[in-house]
Structure 1
């Protein structure tokens, strides 16, 4: 009796599971249909247009295969690779394959004369189709239409440029920032964030070099620049690098370390503090002696271990003094030691002492590290002599 009572319950449960799965499948199909024919991501208009283009091209080829060769079918395939989703591309490829078969049958064997469907034509069309499919799959994975991808990257580059812009300084001060990514690219693993704090009396600048270079480090640099920009001015100067180190550790990146230097400059007195996290030393030109001196704080790399401490070095900029901060790509290469690079940089900078350092940052990068395959950044802060 017990067995006979359990069986109907199990059967009802199985039927319920089947009905639930069917219901979910119907919802998924309905959603997929709605998503296909509605919304900004829809490509049905482009697919319909390209599907109509295929028989038009095939008809022109059958009419005159000399002026409209069979290989002309690569045109809708290339356009489809830029516009369509992978599922839609398969439909387009099926139409193109059917058109090639019809052309091959109607035009005759390829060895009877020009304008026939040759194995080379088939290979070219197939190669273009494969490239378009790979491109569409990548675009689908990224989730950005090809028409907006370039616009988005341009917008990101402009946002980085605006965020890296140094604030205007009061009279008697001059600042410059030059940044050159590796390989002539638009994105860099070096970035700077700056702000005037304490009612505008203090200038805080953070120059950071993210591990890696070029596009490999650009995504991490973009994320860190936003985070560091939010931290700057929100914390006491001695709390910025510990907070940045903790933030970097939370990201848990495989290649997640960075070097950074934090300058806190009093614009009234010229006194400053320099805190460093594994960053190359800065250079200060003392106008009284005409000599360059290395200025470096003590601290480990960001993102290596928790609880790191960063000891500042204090100094002062008198009228005529210049402070240079830079990343290691400017002074260090596989063939050149960092001390040699610093000597070369200071030697090139001596040429601008007499005439002033206006416009010197970019020229110094060109003179010292023009062909270096690494990101390079240089920050100049000058206290001018009042006439």
Structure 2
């Protein structure tokens, strides 16, 4: 038994956030903390302004730059603007006492005001998520980690090998493609759903998180035939402007090798026959994409995996690219998969993802399960 999961879209982007590296020493956010930090930083700013006015040749205006940066990271927007107004008044008051050429003084002061303007813009972007400091970074880290956990494959019984790989467009930390998998029926069945939500990278990150949680909860809670119907109802209820998604759902009986596949606007799964050494495209069981309309149904394709047979599902980034025919992309994918199957020691998922027709321009995901 072998289970391999490549979530390199996230794993390669897995450095801990700064708050984590600091070991939780950053104080907890709150109104009281904000007021205390504001007062402390205002007093420090006043002290620096007095030093600059008293010793302009030894304490230049740029000494305030670290304070401007620190306050921009940890103060909420309202307090930040107030502090910068105070600093601006102080900087303006020091101008007559500055030494050096008029050009140098102008550049130095202008740079300080430009830095404050930039930090105000950065702080404004954090207002949308209600975070200060590095908490916004933590939100993205948690989002990324949860999607990664949902892509991990469960342990399978002897006689089965499964692997998956998910890669994001242009190496970003988030992917519009995700996968959820679960052992059901007391471990006798494996259910896998591979989903491609609209958008790429961070644009699709939030939708991927919501859908991965919802669809992961549906696995095993419904009959295979009802899974895509309920997933469609959930997506329609969200009312997202770009809330559509394609998906393929596989239910495999690990005792007999029987499987069923449901398809919601997704590229057709393929089945490898060990006896003939060829791949068969499973065109049946195709339905509309998820999230467009209520009341649609999804037919399912049935089949059986014998010893040495394999079943593979994948996202459109594997076979699609601008200026190329889908048939060419499919042939390219099946050729890479066949070579890896023949060599037996190679990862089929890695081989398929690495030769993807779209290259780094699109999100790519693949799941392969082999019997025997």
Cα distance change on mapping 1:370 and 1:106 into 2, 3 Å: same
State the Cα deviation string for residues 221-254 of structure 1 (Å, max 9, x = none): 1111111111111111111111111111111111
The answer to whether the 8 A contact 2:147-2:208 is kept is: no
Matched, 1:103 2:94: yes
Q: Does the aligned pair in 2 maintain the 1:248–1:257 contact within 8 Å?
A: yes
Give yes or no for contact 1:194–1:204 (8 Å, CA) kept in 2: yes
**1:234 equivalent in structure 2:** 221
Identify which range, 80-89 or 69-78, moves more after superposition.
69-78
Report the Cα offset of residue 369 of structure 1.
4.4
Are 1:331 and 2:322 matched, yes or no?
no
Partner of 1:299: 287
Partner of 2:364: 376
Q: Report matched runs for 1:21-36 at 5 Å.
A: none
Given candidates 26, 36, 41, the residue that maps to 1:45 is 36
Q: SS at 2:215's partner residue? A: helix
Partner of 2:112: 125
Confirm or deny that 1:71 pairs with 2:62.
Answer: yes
Higher RCO (C-alpha under 8 Å, 6+ residues apart): 2
1:145-176 CA distance string (max 9 Å, x none) = 22322223222222221122111110010111
Separation of aligned partners in 1, 2:41 and 2:272 = 66
* Mapping of residues 193-232 of structure 1, within 5 Å: 193-232=180-219
Name the SS of the counterpart of 1:243 in structure 2: helix
Q: Which residue of structure 2 aligns with residue 145 of structure 1?
A: 132
Query: Whole-Å Cα distance in 2 between the matches of residues 193 and 122 of structure 1?
Result: 54
Task: Give the corresponding residue for 2:302.
Answer: 314
Asked if structure 2 preserves the Cα contact closer than 8 Å seen for 1:214 and 1:374, the reply is: no
Q: Which has the larger radius of gyration?
A: 1
Q: Distance in 2 between matches of 1:40 and 1:140?
A: 14
Whether the aligned pair in 1 keeps the contact of 2:341 and 2:348 (CA below 8 Å) is: no
Matched, 1:287 2:274: yes
Compared CA separation, residues 128 and 312, structure 1 to 2 (3 A)? same
| In structure 1, C-alpha distance between the alignment counterparts of 2:29 and 2:180, rounded to whole Å | 38
Which 10-residue stretch deviates more, 262-271 or 93-102?
Answer: 93-102
**Aligned-partner Cα distance in 2 for 1:378–1:269:** 23
Q: TM-score, normalised by structure 1?
A: 0.83
Aligned residues: 343
User: Cα distance 1:109–1:161, how it changes in 2: closer, same or farther (>3 A)?
Assistant: closer
Unpaired stretches in structure 1, ≥5 consecutive residues: 1-37
Residues of 2 paired with 1:166 and 1:91: CA distance? Answer: 51
Q: Give 1:352's aligned residue.
A: 340
- Measure the CA separation in 2 of the matches of 1:319 and 1:193: 25
The Cα RMSD (Å) is: 2.1
Residue 83 of structure 2: aligned partner:
92
Which protein has the bigger helix share?
1
Does the aligned pair in 2 maintain the 1:331–1:345 contact within 8 Å?
yes
